[in-house]
Structure 1
Amino acid sequence: MQPARLLRHGGRGQALVLFSLTLLLLTLMVLMTLGFGMRAKERVEIQMAADAAAYSQAVSVARTFNAIAVMNRAQIAHMVAMAGTQSLISYSGQHYAVAKENGCAIPDAAFSAADDAAGTQARALQGAAGDLFQAELALYGTLLSKHLAGQQLADEIVQATSSDLRALPGGAAKSMMEVSGGSGGVSSYDDLMTQERTGTVPDTAGAVLPTGGNQGRATLNATMGSLGWTWVHNRPGGSAGFGTGGANGGGYGFTHYADVSSMDPSTYDTISGRNSWAHDHGAARTFTCPVNGQPVTGTGEGSWVMSDERQTKQDQHVYSAHPAPGQGTEGADRVDERHTMGTCNVCPGIWPYSVGFNVGLLQGGNPGRNDYGQPKLYAVVSRDYAGPARRAQPDPWNIYFQFNFAGISTDFDNSSPLGRIQPTGREDVQRNQVALSAGLAYYHRPRPVADGGGWREPPNFLNPFWRATLASAEGTTDDSPAGSLSAAGFTEHAAALRQLDAAGFRGGSSTGARY
């Protein structure tokens, strides 16, 4: 009977071993399932966070562009009003000159007071327009420095999703290049105006130009008198004639030319080295003298008009009864100090300096391959499985413990490369989970379907029709997701992406992303 008892006892031992192994296997399967499930969940989470960050960046850009567009429209309204005021100054100035030369003794003091009031109105309008321009610069500077630079906005978005997610500063390169051409800030107002005066506005590949729309010298030549050009008219009679004043505060000599083609711009001592001209064709004016009620007809041959510059002492309008430019007084003011366009930089031009869209991006052979210059913004988001946040709250199925040998602590973490905690940086695929997403700030003012649909106009900063959307990270000429990953430090991830592209895998680009 004894052998039977031993046999039954041995069976119970085998069952316990089998039960233990089964329980261990079941636990392992559960933990593996949880591990795979959590990795899948984290993969979805990080991609959603990257999408949210990219879209938020695109929204911030679109809203900034819309605000700039609204302020540009307000600027133009101010400039139109100022142009009207200046037109009245010129119109009344010519009638005043004709009256003075043809027996209508309009009191100088009365005209000077009206002229001064009109100039004050023009200065107020231009001051308000200038304030709008500086507000645009401040708003654009905030977009660059507080939202896009260093992926600051993206980092706030992803950390709100999960504390162990980060949008690292190195991932901002693509967004900054698309918006500002890579510049992390905006030059001061004075520096920008100096660039305009000297024709040294730097070229940029970005969508935004702080001093206009990259239209060559269009802003420089937008109006007569802009940026150091002078006005003269070509009536041959009286003191009128082609000519220019000096930009160095002296030498106000004027030269008469028989026709426009004979004018040599290289001889003009102005800020820009150029001149512009205007004339009234010697047209006769007929009106009623406000002093005696008698009709007055004449041409005002002794009067002439030229523009002024902030950098020179030259009068805007001189009449036969007054001394040469830069001398004498008009009312209580020196004629060269009555600056009817205010302390402007482009006097007496009315071109509104404003933050503009880079129209150069709409030109070239195939602008559609570059989204017509509309900025695409990348968000590069990562999760460091061996980082401090992860180690502070490790997953229970990841083994983590310390060995103490001779007073030296050696960490082991199953979630990090080879189980070792080392300052390996971001280059390890095993250690870092990475997601990249792209948002697009795009302009769309739709044309009615009845008219054929599509765009009504190309991207611009004159109408507030900027929107935001998610977009493929590939497909345009300057897209390089792998390059952005490398710039952020994720070199192994970038290499894996290039290998996939070389093997024929395609994302948003049918021709390959040219990594």
Structure 2
Amino acid sequence: MHLHVRQRERIMKRSSRRSARGQALVLGALSFLVLALMMTLSFNLSHALREKMSLQQHSDSLAYSMAVVEARTLNYYAISNRSIAATYVASNSMHGYMAAASVTGDIMRAGRNNFYVIAAQEFGQCGCWSCFMHCVHGIQALKVASKYSKAASNYDNKARGLDSKFTQTVQGLDRMVDFIHGSQSMVHKNTMQALKDGQSYGLSGLKDYNAPGASTLVSAVGALNANEFNCAVDGMPCPGGVASSDTKTRAKVMTEVANATRSTWPANRGLTGNLPTHLHPSFLNEVRNIPGEGVNFPLPVHKGTAKTVQSSGGVSGGSGGGNEGKMIAAEESGTMANQWKHGAMVWNYDAKVVSDSGSGSHSPGGAHTGSHQFEGVNTKGLTTCIMSGNCFMKFRADEQKDNDFGQPSAYSYVTDDLRVGDAVKAPWELNSSATVNFENGDSSASITLAAGQAAALSRALVYYHRLGENGWNEPPNLFNPYWRAKLHPFTQAEARKVLTAANNTDAAQLVQMAGGLSL
């Protein structure tokens, strides 16, 4: 009896040891499974983080690069706008030269008229025998007047010989403006294409370098970029933005810039003492020496100017209501003084050259041939200004600070699959779906080891900053090439707009509900 009890105890101990060894095996297997899953999840998480960082880096570089393209385009507009203004200044100078050439004949005519009066003065004093010399002087004064008249005809002929070449030059400068604006239009078109697709003109290389598997720029986001860029140029279509100004307003801007940048020659030829020292010394000597004696010279009240004007009367004064630059005009005027023998007289002289959309005008008439044509400044709407109309690119400002005062933004939204989907290339995903299934009797569960698709959005701002002290105080414009680009944070409204355009409505709603979210 005692023996049987001891045998049963030994059997029970051996059974207990076998049971413990079985439990340890099960627990060990489960532990290895959990460790394997944790390691797999760790690899997947590391891979996902790396891919997401690469995707965001690509999105940032794409937005910044598109903004750089925009900034370079706006700087090109600034430089080419200066060229357009310089073309008007050159045309002003040409009109100034033509007026200076034409005034020579009128100065001689002023001398002729003076000597007609002097002759009358002399004849008026020769009524008696003792005053006979006054009669002789009168006859001599008429001969001097005749010499001045011949000299006037001679200088009119010289000016007339220059008139056709002058007209060709002015028309050539007018066409140059159209060609310059044509290049602006082409650059605008190419820039729009790059902003729409995010691939043109070298931008596609960013994807190959940063995130080869990333999607291209979402077309609806590209459309936002194109609209932002259009809204920065006054006269381009801009749905939802500030309305365009009319052609007259834009014309006034270019006209003011062109007139303000004139050098001394076209702006004011009344040099020191208001003497016509810009006229050739041989001409001035001839003016003085034709009478042979006496004092004969233009008085120090000479004036000469050339500018882009609203009307021909505005060349010597202002333009009430604004100067739209409908014509280019130059005027040269002064007073000729002659004192000879017993007589003296002063006579005004004047020359004016005007080019407009018609035939223009030119006085004195003896120096004129043909017609003087000038198209005018910004005579057409920007979208219809193709190789005619003398258009240019003007910045369209927005008074709203929240809209960055009209400075354009460049947005990027791209996606990428974080899951490789190939167990050979990514063994930590285990299979093509990266999913592990568990079954326990009638119960089942699954774990997805790798994330699916990731998205990245970025914003860059194209901004204007003039270097130097108080550089930030200068408002954005398209006459100074100080446009730059930088990555810029989103406002909630902007992020929601981009996400909605990208059809990511869930993220857009999240942004809308998350007040104070840093973007």
Regarding TM over 0.5, the answer is yes
Q: Which of these two proteins has the greater Rg computed from alpha carbons?
A: 2
Helix, strand or coil at the partner of 1:460: coil
Q: 1:454 to 1:205 in 2, by over 3 A?
A: farther
Tell me if the contact between 2:312 and 2:354 (Cα under 8 Å) persists in the aligned partners. yes
Q: CA RMSD in A?
A: 4.9
Counterparts of 2:335 and 2:239 in 1: how far apart (Å)?
52
Counterparts of 1:275 and 1:161 in 2: how far apart (Å)?
53
**Is 1:105 aligned with 2:153?**
yes
1:60 is aligned with what amino acid? V
Helix, strand or coil at the partner of 1:175: helix
Helix, strand or coil at the partner of 1:85: helix
**Is 1:150 aligned with 2:197?**
yes
Counterparts of 1:135 and 1:279 in 2: how far apart (Å)?
30
Helix, strand or coil at the partner of 1:39: helix
CA-CA distance at 1:23 after TM superposition? 1.5
**Is 1:79 aligned with 2:127?**
no
Helix, strand or coil at the partner of 1:25: helix
Counterparts of 1:35 and 1:316 in 2: how far apart (Å)?
82
Q: How does 1:129-144 map to 2 (within 5 A)?
A: 129-144=177-192
Counterparts of 2:83 and 2:62 in 1: how far apart (Å)?
32
Tell me if the contact between 1:438 and 1:470 (Cα under 8 Å) persists in the aligned partners. yes
Partner of 2:401: 368
Counterparts of 1:12 and 1:287 in 2: how far apart (Å)?
132
Tell me if the contact between 1:47 and 1:435 (Cα under 8 Å) persists in the aligned partners. yes
Tell me if the contact between 2:311 and 2:326 (Cα under 8 Å) persists in the aligned partners. yes
Tell me if the contact between 1:180 and 1:208 (Cα under 8 Å) persists in the aligned partners. no
CA-CA distance at 1:202 after TM superposition? 5.9
CA-CA distance at 1:111 after TM superposition? 2.1
Tell me if the contact between 1:212 and 1:219 (Cα under 8 Å) persists in the aligned partners. no
CA-CA distance at 1:29 after TM superposition? 0.8
Task: In structure 1, list runs of 5 or more residues that go unmatched.
Answer: 184-199, 236-259, 262-271, 289-294, 323-329, 402-411, 420-429, 509-515
Counterparts of 1:373 and 1:202 in 2: how far apart (Å)?
13
CA-CA distance at 1:172 after TM superposition? 1.8
CA-CA distance at 1:392 after TM superposition? 10
Partner of 2:252: 218
Deviates more, 1:121-130 or 1:5-14: 5-14
**Is 1:63 aligned with 2:97?**
no
Deviations 1:45-67 (A, max 9, x none): 22222211121122111222223
TM-score by length of 2: 0.60
**Is 1:441 aligned with 2:462?**
yes
Counterparts of 2:366 and 2:502 in 1: how far apart (Å)?
71
Helix, strand or coil at the partner of 2:198: helix
**Is 1:165 aligned with 2:165?**
no
Q: 1:221 to 1:129 in 2, by over 3 A?
A: closer
Return the structure number with greater helix share.
2
Counterparts of 2:155 and 2:246 in 1: how far apart (Å)?
43
Tell me if the contact between 1:151 and 1:169 (Cα under 8 Å) persists in the aligned partners. no
Tell me if the contact between 1:446 and 1:456 (Cα under 8 Å) persists in the aligned partners. no
Deviations 1:112-159 (A, max 9, x none): 2222333344344444444333222222221111x2013336664234
CA-CA distance at 1:91 after TM superposition? 3.4
Tell me if the contact between 1:150 and 1:171 (Cα under 8 Å) persists in the aligned partners. no
Helix, strand or coil at the partner of 2:455: strand
CA-CA distance at 1:462 after TM superposition? 1.9
CA-CA distance at 1:28 after TM superposition? 0.6
Tell me if the contact between 2:409 and 2:461 (Cα under 8 Å) persists in the aligned partners. yes
CA-CA distance at 1:283 after TM superposition? 5.5
Q: 1:28 to 1:396 in 2, by over 3 A?
A: same
Counterparts of 1:472 and 1:394 in 2: how far apart (Å)?
37
Counterparts of 2:189 and 2:461 in 1: how far apart (Å)?
20
Task: In structure 2, list runs of 5 or more residues that go unmatched.
Answer: 1-6, 113-148, 260-305, 339-343, 381-388, 437-444
**Is 1:497 aligned with 2:508?**
no
CA-CA distance at 1:399 after TM superposition? 6.2
Tell me if the contact between 2:247 and 2:378 (Cα under 8 Å) persists in the aligned partners. no
Q: How does 1:272-287 map to 2 (within 5 A)?
A: 284-286=334-336
Helix, strand or coil at the partner of 1:137: helix
Identity within the alignment, %: 22
- For these two proteins, the number of residue pairs brought into alignment is 390
Q: How does 1:3-152 map to 2 (within 5 A)?
A: 13-97=22-106, 99=108, 102=112, 103=149, 104-106=152-154, 109-145=157-193, 147-152=194-199
Helix, strand or coil at the partner of 1:106: helix
Partner of 2:224: 174
1:490 is aligned with what amino acid? N
2:494 is aligned with what amino acid? S
